[in-house]
Chains A and B, each alone.
Chain A
C-alpha cells in the first residue's frame, strides 16, 4: 500500500499542473481576475496538501522517513532502471512547504499587481507551471526526474523573464538566462552519467548507498561533484555563472520575488544538500563549493553597494545570500544552510514585493534609486514592511536573518582550518549587507519626496512616461504593463495581505532556531541527513551566542554607517565616490564580468557563427551537400526516365534480361 505521505505528494504535484493546463486552455473565457484566483487557489490547495504530507510523514517513525512512490517505469534495461518516482522525506517536505507557501503568497500578490496586464492569464499559467516544475525538482526520487524538473524550471524562468516580449531588453535577458541555465543543465546531465557509471544507479537511495564502495576523494567522484556544482551554480547565480540573475529583473516583479529570489535560485542549495553523501565522500569538491560560495557572497555584496537600479540591488543581495547558503551546505551545515534558505525566501520575497509596490507607484517596472526618495509618507505600509525585510536581511538582532545567517557562519567557523577564513570573509560581507540594505531604505523612503511620492501623498495617481529604464526608449504600453492604467500602488488588499504575512514571518521565523532554546528545523531535517558524518559536529551554545553577538554588532554598525552616509551627511557618499572613483567604476561595472564574457565567449562565438554561415553553410552545405544531393537525384531521375520508355515490350525485355542475369548468377553460385 502506498504510504499516505506519498499520495499527498502526488496531490501536491498534480494541483499546479492542473492549474497550468486549465488556465492555458481557458484563458479566453476566464474574465477579470478569475485566472489569478484560480492560479492562487491551486497553489494554496497544494500548500494544504503539503501540510498533509508533513503531518502524515510525522506519523512515520524517524528512521523510516524515506518514502518512495513510483508512478510508472520510464526506462528498464539491464543496468539502467528509472521510475517516475517521488521521494518524500523531511528534506523534500521542507522544500515543498517553503515553495508552496511563498508561491501562494506571491500568486495572491500578483492577482492585483498584474491586474491591467493583457497577458494576465498567460502569466498565471506560466507561474503555475513554474511551481509545478519546482515541486517536481524537489520531489524527484532519482536524477532523471530531477533533471526533468531542473530543465522545466529553466524553461519557466525563461518564459517569465521574457514575459513582456515586446521589450528587447527583456527577451535578451531571457535568452541570457536560458543559455547560462543550459550550461548548468549540461553539467548536471554529465554528472548524472558519471554517477551512473561510478555508482551504478540513478536512484538517490541506491547511488548514495553505493558511494561507500568508492575510495574517498575518488577522481571520477570529484568530477561528478564538480559537475553537480556547475549545475547548482548556474541555477543559483553563483560565480562565475551569475550574470543572468541581475538581468532577470526584466521580468515582472512577482517573478523576481518568486523565481529569482525565493525558490528557483535556491535549487542549487537543495541539490548540494540532497547529494550530501557524495560531497562528504569527496571533500575536495565540497571545499571548492564553499570557496566559490564565499567569493560569491563577497563579490555580490560589494556590487550591491553601488548598483542603482532598485531591483538589481536586491538581485545582487540574492546572489550574496545564496552564497551564504552554498557556504553552509558545502561546510556540511545542512540544516543551517536550509534554514537560511527558508528565512531568505521570506524576507527576500518581501523586499521584492515592496520594491514592486514602489516602482509600480511610479508607473515603472524597474527604476533607479536616483529617481526615488521620500516615499515614507506616501506609502507607509510599504515603508514598514520593506524596512522589516531590509532589517532581516541585514541581520538586525532577533529578526530571522539574524539567527539563520549567524548559524551558517558559526557552523563554518567551528569547522576550523580553511573554513575559519571563509567565515571571517562571511562576517565582512555581513557588514556590507547591512550597509546596502539600509542604503535602499534611506535612499528610497527618506529625504525630499520626488514628484511621484508627493502626488501619491496628495491622493493622486502619478503617471510616469512609459519608457525602458535601461535604454531610455519609449515603451509600447499596448502590451499591457507597464501601462497608464496600472495604478494599484499599495492599496489593493491582495497585495497588502501577503506582504503583512511575509513581514510577520520575517520577524518571527528566526525563533525556530534560537541557539540553546529551539532547534525545530534541525530536528525535523535530521532523518534526511542521518548518514552524515558531520551530523553531530555542532558548535557549543556559547560559541553560537558569541557569533550572534558579533553578527548583531556588525549589523548595527552597517546600519549606522548607512545612516551616517545617506541621511546625516549625504556629501560623504559623493566625496567617497570621487575619491575612490577607480574602485567605484570597477564595482559599478560588476567586476567587468559581462565584458569578460563578451570578449571571451560572445565575440568568438559570433565570429564562429559568421564563419559557419559564410563557409560551412553556404559553400559546404548548400553547395556540396544540398547541391550534391539534388544533383544525384536529378541524374537518377534522368536515368529512371530513360528506362521508362512506355513500350510494353521494352519492359518485358528488361524483365527477361533480369531473369537471365538471375539465372546466370545462380548457375555461377551453384558451382
Chain B
C-alpha cells in the first residue's frame, strides 16, 4: 500500500512537472518533449488505477505515435520561439485568473462532495478489471455503436488531414491573393468591411424600393 502511495506521488509530481513544462517552455520542441514525459507519468497513474489496457494504449499510441507526429510537424514548421507582434495583454492576464478560479471551484467540489466513491479507496474489483479482455468485451458488446462511430471519425479525420495538408497543384499561384487577404492586419480588416456595409445602405433599406418601383412600372402597361 505504501509503495502505491509513494508511486502515486512520484508520478503525480512528474505529470505536474510535465504539464507546467508544456505551458512554460518557450521552445515548442521542448514543450513536446515535456508532454511526452507528462504522458508517461500519466500512464503510471493509469496503472495505479487498474487500467492496464488504457495505460498501454497511452504509451503506445499517445506517447509513441501521436507525439512522433508532433515532433515531425515541429521540425517541419520550425520550432521557432514565441512570435512577436501585437499581443492580447488582457487575455494573457485574465486567462490564468479564470483557470485558477476553475481550479478552486473543482477543488471545492471534490473535497466537499457527497459522492461516496471520492475519498474512499475505491470498490473492490474483479481480477480481470481493466484487462484487454474486459475492455474488448465491453467495446464489442455494450459500446459497439460508440466504437464504430469513433472508428468512422478517425477515418474522416485521416481524409480531412490529407485534404488540408496535401499540396494542391495549380492552387499555389491562385492562392497568392488569398494569402494576402488572410494575412491582413487585424486593425485594417474590420474597418474595410464596415465601410463596404455602409456603401450598400446599411441593411438593405434601399434595396426594397427598387423592386417596388419596377412592379409599379409593370402594372401601368
Contact = CB atoms under 8 A, between A and B. Distances in A.
Tell me, yes or no, whether A and B come into direct contact in the complex with CB atoms closer than 8 A.
yes
Contact of B98 (A630, A646, A650, A653): A653
A656 B108 contact: no
A660 B105 contact: yes
Interface in B189-221: 189, 203
A629 interface: no
Interface in A651-671: 652-653, 656-657, 659-660, 663-664, 666-667
A653 B91 contact: yes
B91 A663 contact: no
A630 B208 CA distance: 15
B88 A650 contact: yes
A667 B109 contact: yes
Contacts of A656: 95, 98-99, 102
B94 interface: yes
Interface string B167-197: 0000000000000000000100100000000
Given A646-B186, A667-B105, A660 B88 contact: no
B102 to A, nearest CB: 5
B105 A649 contact: no
Interface residues of B, number: 15
A72 interface: no
Contacts of A653: 91, 94-95, 98
B183 to A, nearest CB: 13
Contacts of A639: none
A667 B101 contact: no
Contacts of A659: 102
Contacts of B94: 653
A601 interface: no
Contact of A663 (B88, B95, B102, B203): B102
Interface string A318-340: 00000000000000000000000
Interface string B58-100: 0000000000000000000000000000001001001100110
A171 to B, nearest CB: 16
Contact of B106 (A634, A649, A652, A663): A663
Determine which residue in B94, B98, B189 has the highest number of CB atoms from chain A within 10 A of its CB, and name it: B98
A657 B98 contact: yes
A638 to B, nearest CB: 11
Nearest to B100: A660
A634 B197 CA distance: 13
B54 to A, nearest CB: 25
A345 to B, nearest CB: 42
Contacts of B91: 647, 649-650, 653
Contacts of B108: 667
Nearest to A659: B102
B49 to A, nearest CB: 24
A660 B101 contact: yes
A652 B186 CA distance: 18
A634 B106 CA distance: 39
A341 B99 CA distance: 90
A659 B189 CA distance: 31
B1 to A, nearest CB: 32
Contacts of A646: 186, 189
B105 A663 contact: yes
Contacts of B186: 646
Contact of A649 (B88, B99, B102, B109): B88
Interface string B94-135: 110011011001101100000000000000000000000000
8 contacts: A649-B91, A656-B95, A656-B98, A656-B99, A660-B102, A660-B105, A664-B105, A666-B109
